[in-house]
Amino acid sequence: MDRPITTLFMLMSVDGKISTGATDNLDVDKDFPKIAGVREGLHQYYEIEQTTDLWALNSGRVQEKMGVNTKKMPNKTPVSFVVIDNNHLTKHGIRYFCALSKEFVLITSNTSHPAFQVDKDNLHIICQSELSLTDALAKLKSEYGCQRITIQSGGTLNGLFLREKLFDYVDIVVAPVLIGGKDTSTLIDGKSLLSENELSQLGVLKLQKCTVLEDSYLRLSYKVIH
């Protein structure tokens, strides 16, 4: 395989939502700890997250929602982070990831991105005229030695990974809550299929493990068949 092995690892509601609403002010990381019946078992997701791959891929929009543009500088971790971003991260956000990461790779098509103004030894930029996840993953493996990577991005970007057949495994923690809302982001968003001729773009899964966690949480682990 000329790209890293990928795993989609996400926290979602029983109805597949990965946010608590349709605005950036609503977010599961901020809101789930406030909800009785949900907060009690939430720690399990973060504990499992600590056992995922030493490479992690996120989107700039999600990271902006999580406040990296204003957070104080973190301690260094052994994890290398990849962020796909055109206009959500500031110079502070870039420096935040450089401080956090073993290696930090920004994937962008914005030639004026603030990252170009930051000089850090562990900062690497993959600049593409148009986003190509396939090419970006191939570079992560060939140039930076990434063998396995955990994907934790938003629904739209997850949709691109799905349609381009770039998921190998899916590992989902299901929180005991229903959220609803047709405009609330789900595990997989993006363009909908329009005809039977496109059914090959579906991601067919084989269940590898179903773990009943505490406080009504579930962990579902799948291998992507095709």
Per-residue pLDDT reduced to its tens digit, 173-224: 999 999 999 999 999 999 999 999 999 999 999 999 999 999 999 999 999 9
Question: Does the structure show a pLDDT above 90 at 1?
Answer: no
Contact 148, 56 (CB under 8 A): no
Q: Is 5 helix (H, G, I), strand (E, B) or coil?
A: strand
Local confidence band at 41 (pLDDT 50, 70, 90 cut-offs): very high
Mean pLDDT, all residues of the chain: 97
**What are the two backbone dihedrals, phi and then psi, of residue 179, each rounded to the nearest 5 degrees?**
-110, -50
CA end-to-end distance (rounded Å), the chain = 15
* Predicted pLDDT at 22: 94
The string of pLDDT tens digits covering residues 60-109 is 999 999 999 999 999 999 999 999 999 999 999 999 999 999 999 999 99
| pLDDT at residue 190 in the model | 95
Sequence-distant (6+) residues with CB within 8 A of 85 are 59, 60, 61, 63, 106, 107, 108, 110, 113
